[in-house]
Chain A
Amino acid sequence: MSFPEYQDDGFFTSGHVACAGCSEALALRVILNTIGSNAIAVVPPSCGAVICGMHPHSAMGIPVCQTTLESTAATASGVKRALNARGKEDTTVICLAGDGGTYDIGFQALSSAVERNEDLLYICFDNEGYMNTGGQKSSSTPLMAVTGSTPQGKSSRKKNMIEILAAHDIPYVATTSPSNINDMVAKVNKAKEIRGFKFISVLIPCIAGWGLSDDAGIRLARLAVESGVWPLYEIEDGHRYRLNHASKTATVAEYLKGQRRYRHVSPEQVEQMQANVDDDWNRLQQKLVTSEQPIRMQNL
């Protein structure tokens, strides 16, 4: 295991109000410091907006434009176009949104901004539900997970946002995890150099929403990667796939253990979930094989 390589220039400050043990704060620190000073952030209502802090304080060292829940991609488009009009094309406009604001209510605006290929970097902090409002299901909530609005476990599967965006022929879409900081840094750096729409989804195990112990966030994020529940991969121009981590070294059962939201699942259901993950993994392998320039199992 290599030590994380990124320089902290203070673009995410102490005094932020993330919950104890929340790995979104870590991800924000890494991402904002990787982006640097020539940037403007767009933040919808989300855990990220809470973490920003309350007026007149801000945990962010760059200008932040908060917006309505469904408007992130449209708002960011407006910022970017105004910067273009002012001759500041080199400023990075970065969206920091949650999965509710991305998979659900903000999806229409997101799809349109991707279709227009706006020059934006969109980060989705995916904690698999509306955790900021106390933990209700979103379309990112996985099968069988208990939330405030799925007390018996969600009856449908998680929406596959990465493939949906790939189907837009988006220049760059990737997953990353707070358990793999170097992967995160590399992907943000890569995205920063690409013109057009870039989307990076970060899995954020939610301490309260998933029912985890305070120190379990990063461990769960790592198990998600290793079990293949959250494979680390990237897609360029909608068809060049690249796997960034040699996954499948842990089982789904190991991943589910310690999460209160899955406490009710039976051994048979765990088997079914393992089968789903295996199936998704095989489909990803096929895409790697048929990809134009497959670069497999590249560890970052």
Chain B
Amino acid sequence: MTQPSNRMLLSGNHAVAWGARLARPDVIPVYPITPQTPILEKITDFQASGELDAELLTPESEHSAMSACISASLTGARVFTATSSQGLLLMHELLHWAAGASTPIVMFNVNRTVASPWGFWPDQTDSLAQRDTGWIQLYCESPQESIDTTILAYRIAESVSLPTMVNHEAFYVSHAMEPIEVPSQEAVDSFLPPYNPKHLLDPGKVESFGYVLDQNTHYQSRRNMDDAMQQVYAITEQANKEWKELTGRDYGIIEGYRMDDTKVVIVTMGSMCGTVKVAIDEMRDQGVSVGLLKVRLFRPFPYQQIRDALEDIPCIISMDRNFSPGLGGVLHQELKAALFGMQNTPKLHGLLTGVSGLNVTPEKIKEWVAAYSNAEPVVQSVWTE
């Protein structure tokens, strides 16, 4: 039975702030950056009005914000922070540190172009450049998905003791308003028990963290991180299932849209999924069979789930709103790895679409489907206008 919720008109960023509030974090170290600031300001409003009982820490940089997140988590606190773009890049060293420290921090990142030159546009290069840091990564296409995923992220992070980064894109999602079902505090409390770690910094316990390890022990720490990552698939599925029972909203690790009876599947992440769905509906109306596979969980990458979903699909078109110089699209690369060695390996077209925040319209998507459905793919990602 689903629980009652309040319907509110919220932007994507305010939805995230509500998600964070409902998760009852103990400590929130946070530093402002466009276009993340509405998250910060809404949270500080909640805290100032007494609706959110948390220690708020406003240091001089994202680097210090993440440092404080890690140590607060190690001291037994539930932690939330949010950032974007340059702020995320400044945290890079500590993202590795957080994962190595097994700290289940939840961070919301608003995907924004990285400088130089300056830009404030939707682009996922910032977070995808952090893909080797040991953080779980999830990507959202709508404000509703962002509030729900913020809460889900705590469940996942604390189950495996890994930090979790939830992403949505600048402006398209962060500043878009839509009616949001805000879950009740009771519903979230029933889903998310208080954080109670087995190990923590406490004068009564005299356990320490971060000492130099020898090679064997350090190696074992990497194996432990991998074991934790491998558990994420099942734990995320279980969390999604319980969330659906609670709210009626159904999220997957990956999500298929109109995948029935199709020979062409578009694979992408984030806000472009919504646009692709509109394009698919229009193409279906015109008799063109196309489906969408949305990748929600990017780290750990759902290799097996994607192979299963794309079995017997002859043509895949991936759309990357990011650019890795010398490589191309990051999702394209991951898909090549995922599809490698399949019995009937699909043809894979990797398109660089919407990089630097360029608008991707349903019309363009329809053009790309027409152009690439029967073409021979090239190994490298292809730029689109």
The segment out of B1-9, B68-76, B148-156, B349-357 that lies at the interface is: B68-76
Q: Does any Cβ of A come within 8 Å of B205's Cβ? A: yes
Q: Does any Cβ of B come within 8 Å of A37's Cβ? A: yes
Whether the Cβ atoms of B67 and A68 lie closer than 8 Å is yes
The 5 A-B residue pairs whose C-beta atoms are closest, nearest first, are A66-B210, A78-B68, A74-B64, A82-B75, A78-B71
Measured CB to CB, the closest approach of chain A to B69, in angstroms, equals 7
Interface residues of B in 160-215 (CB under 8 A from A): 201-203, 205-214
Residue of B nearest to A41 (CB): B208
Whether the Cβ atoms of A81 and B67 lie closer than 8 Å is no
Contact of A67 among B71, B73, B77, B202 (CB under 8 A): B71
Given contacts A54-B212, A55-B217, A64-B209, 9 further A-B contacts (CB under 8 A): A63-B207, A63-B208, A74-B29, A74-B71, A78-B27, A84-B55, A88-B203, A109-B61, A111-B60
**Distance in angstroms between the alpha carbons of A71 and B72 in the assembled complex:** 13
**Distance in angstroms between the alpha carbons of A86 and B75 in the assembled complex:** 9
Whether the Cβ atoms of A78 and B70 lie closer than 8 Å is yes
Residues of A within 8 Å of B58, CB to CB, are: 116
**Distance in angstroms between the alpha carbons of A77 and B133 in the assembled complex:** 24
**Distance in angstroms between the alpha carbons of A54 and B212 in the assembled complex:** 5
**Distance in angstroms between the alpha carbons of A58 and B201 in the assembled complex:** 14
Whether the Cβ atoms of B203 and A78 lie closer than 8 Å is no
The range of chain B's interface size is 35 or more
**Distance in angstroms between the alpha carbons of A285 and B270 in the assembled complex:** 64
Whether the Cβ atoms of A79 and B60 lie closer than 8 Å is no
Of B73, B75, B212, most A-chain CB atoms within 10 Å: B75
Residues of A within 8 Å of B67, CB to CB, are: 67-68, 71, 74-75, 78, 109
Residues of A within 8 Å of B209, CB to CB, are: 63-66
Contact of B75 among A49, A53, A79 (CB under 8 A): A79
Q: Does any Cβ of A come within 8 Å of B129's Cβ? A: no
Interface residues of A in 37-78 (CB under 8 A from B): 37-40, 42-43, 49, 52-58, 60-68, 70-71, 73-78
Residue of A nearest to B202 (CB): A63
Known: A65-B209, A75-B71, A77-B68. A82 touches B27 (CB 8 A): yes
Contact of B69 among A42, A53, A65, A78 (CB under 8 A): A78
Residues of B within 8 Å of A43, CB to CB, are: 210
Q: Does any Cβ of A come within 8 Å of B228's Cβ? A: no
Residue of A nearest to B58 (CB): A116
Interface residues of B in 51-68 (CB under 8 A from A): 54-55, 57-61, 63-65, 67-68
Measured CB to CB, the closest approach of chain B to A28, in angstroms, equals 15
Residue of A nearest to B207 (CB): A63
**Distance in angstroms between the alpha carbons of A66 and B207 in the assembled complex:** 12
Residue of A nearest to B69 (CB): A78
Residues of B within 8 Å of A81, CB to CB, are: 27, 29, 55, 57, 68, 72, 77
Residue of B nearest to A64 (CB): B208
Contact of A65 among B77, B210, B213, B217 (CB under 8 A): B210
Whether the Cβ atoms of A63 and B60 lie closer than 8 Å is no
Q: Does any Cβ of B come within 8 Å of A85's Cβ? A: yes
**Distance in angstroms between the alpha carbons of A88 and B75 in the assembled complex:** 11
Residue of A nearest to B217 (CB): A55
Whether the Cβ atoms of A58 and B71 lie closer than 8 Å is no
Whether the Cβ atoms of A77 and B59 lie closer than 8 Å is yes
Q: Does any Cβ of A come within 8 Å of B372's Cβ? A: no
Interface residues of A in 70-121 (CB under 8 A from B): 70-71, 73-79, 81-86, 88, 91, 108-109, 111-113, 115-116
Measured CB to CB, the closest approach of chain A to B365, in angstroms, equals 44
Whether the Cβ atoms of B211 and A65 lie closer than 8 Å is no
Residue of A nearest to B59 (CB): A112
Residue of B nearest to A55 (CB): B211
Residue of B nearest to A58 (CB): B208
**Distance in angstroms between the alpha carbons of A62 and B207 in the assembled complex:** 8
Residue of A nearest to B206 (CB): A63
**Distance in angstroms between the alpha carbons of A74 and B90 in the assembled complex:** 14
Whether the Cβ atoms of A40 and B75 lie closer than 8 Å is yes
Residues of A within 8 Å of B77, CB to CB, are: 81-82, 85-86
Whether the Cβ atoms of B64 and A109 lie closer than 8 Å is yes
Whether the Cβ atoms of A82 and B76 lie closer than 8 Å is yes
Whether the Cβ atoms of B217 and A109 lie closer than 8 Å is no
Whether the Cβ atoms of B71 and A112 lie closer than 8 Å is no
Q: Does any Cβ of A come within 8 Å of B94's Cβ? A: yes
Residue of A nearest to B93 (CB): A68
Whether the Cβ atoms of A86 and B68 lie closer than 8 Å is no
Residues of B within 8 Å of A73, CB to CB, are: 64
Residues of A within 8 Å of B210, CB to CB, are: 43, 64-67
Residue of B nearest to A39 (CB): B203
Known: A85-B26, A86-B75, A86-B76. A52 touches B64 (CB 8 A): no
Q: Does any Cβ of A come within 8 Å of B251's Cβ? A: no
Q: Does any Cβ of A come within 8 Å of B120's Cβ? A: no
**Distance in angstroms between the alpha carbons of A71 and B64 in the assembled complex:** 6
Whether the Cβ atoms of A116 and B59 lie closer than 8 Å is yes
**Distance in angstroms between the alpha carbons of A60 and B210 in the assembled complex:** 13
**Distance in angstroms between the alpha carbons of A113 and B61 in the assembled complex:** 11
Whether the Cβ atoms of A85 and B64 lie closer than 8 Å is no
Whether the Cβ atoms of B75 and A78 lie closer than 8 Å is yes
Whether the Cβ atoms of A71 and B63 lie closer than 8 Å is yes
Whether the Cβ atoms of A91 and B27 lie closer than 8 Å is no
Contact of A55 among B57, B59, B75, B212 (CB under 8 A): B212
Measured CB to CB, the closest approach of chain A to B190, in angstroms, equals 22
Whether the Cβ atoms of A74 and B75 lie closer than 8 Å is no
Whether the Cβ atoms of A75 and B55 lie closer than 8 Å is no
Measured CB to CB, the closest approach of chain B to A183, in angstroms, equals 27
Of A57, A60, A109, most B-chain CB atoms within 10 Å: A109
Residue of B nearest to A72 (CB): B67
Residues of A within 8 Å of B71, CB to CB, are: 42, 65, 67, 74-79, 82
**Distance in angstroms between the alpha carbons of A64 and B70 in the assembled complex:** 14
Known: A85-B26, A108-B60. A68 touches B68 (CB 8 A): no
**Distance in angstroms between the alpha carbons of A37 and B61 in the assembled complex:** 32
Q: Does any Cβ of A come within 8 Å of B233's Cβ? A: no
Residues of B within 8 Å of A66, CB to CB, are: 208-211
Residues of B within 8 Å of A49, CB to CB, are: 212
